[in-house]
Amino acid sequence: MSTSLTSRSDAPALLLSGQVMHQRLRPVLHKFVYPVFCVRLDLARLNEAGNAWFGVDRRRLMCVRTRDYGPRDGSDLASWVRGHLQQAGLPHDGAIWLQTFPRLFGFVFNPVSFFLCHDREGQLRAVLAEVNNTFGETQHYLLSAPGQGVIDEHTRLVCNKLMHVSPFCEVSGFYRFRFRDQARHEDAGGNTAFVGIDYYDHGHPSEVAQGLQPLMRTSVGGHLHPLTAATAFGALCAQPFLTLGVVARIHWQALLLWRKRVPWFSKPERVAAAGPSSGKETLS
């Protein structure tokens, strides 16, 4: 039985230090890579995650505020996630970890955060992805493996795209997610984590095996270490303007795409969803 690295962690919080990659494949090739860091938090141990430089719902230079996620009211996030898991018939009795960009100096923008949901044996069984756009809108996608099995590095999690994210992409098609954690010796840089997202603007997931190509590939990955006062301070010193960089790069890359004459799509009127979208309708 294989358990995820995150679920086996003795630390209540982890620092993921690495890089983000975006690559557009059509109608022009456009790729960029830049350094980032994010945190992973055990929702059952948020009160243990704080230190001199990082805190949860505390005034720190680096922090996470629970009201930034889920129902946006500061209520218990674990209970909120478990409610959606139970409603979908998924295991909801294990650890839930949140992977997200933290607030720095009070500011944050999270293009996507992930609630990593495990069963009581520590196996990853579902992921609740929380996607935000620059218009202040949020869409949740509840992802699970076919047959609600264990999610490993070979599993591809699929859901329809339901929200406007970029003016250079229509609200159509589907996402394919993959998650991979690898145990590595400290001499080799320590444990690593990776999340990949492929966006297909048309077609059906069954066509991927026949050669259907994505419009865009996105990934975030790096090394996992306990989030201590020392590692938090190091991350702050290395990237004090992380939040500003995320927002600035979104607009800068949009300008570059516009200059390359990539087609522009206006934002459609959005109908608010009653709850998280699952991938079931995509696979039918």
Output the tens digit of pLDDT for each of the chain's 284 residues: 456 767 667 899 999 999 999 999 999 999 999 999 999 999 999 999 999 999 999 999 999 999 999 999 999 999 999 999 999 999 999 999 999 999 999 999 999 999 999 999 999 999 999 999 999 999 999 999 999 899 999 999 999 999 999 999 999 999 999 999 987 656 555 799 999 999 999 999 999 989 999 999 999 999 999 999 999 999 999 999 999 999 999 999 999 999 999 999 999 987 666 568 776 544 43
User: In angstroms, how far apart are the furthest CA atoms of the chain?
Assistant: 52
Residue 274 has a pLDDT of 58
Cβ pair 123, 258 in contact under 8 A: no
Q: Is 5 contained in some domain?
A: no
Residue 282 has a pLDDT of 45
Residue 226 has a pLDDT of 96
Q: Is 8 contained in some domain?
A: no
Q: Is 103 contained in some domain?
A: yes
Our count of domains for the chain comes to 1
Q: Is 72 contained in some domain?
A: yes
Full domain range(s) for residue 73: 13-283
Q: Is 238 contained in some domain?
A: yes
Q: Is 1 contained in some domain?
A: no
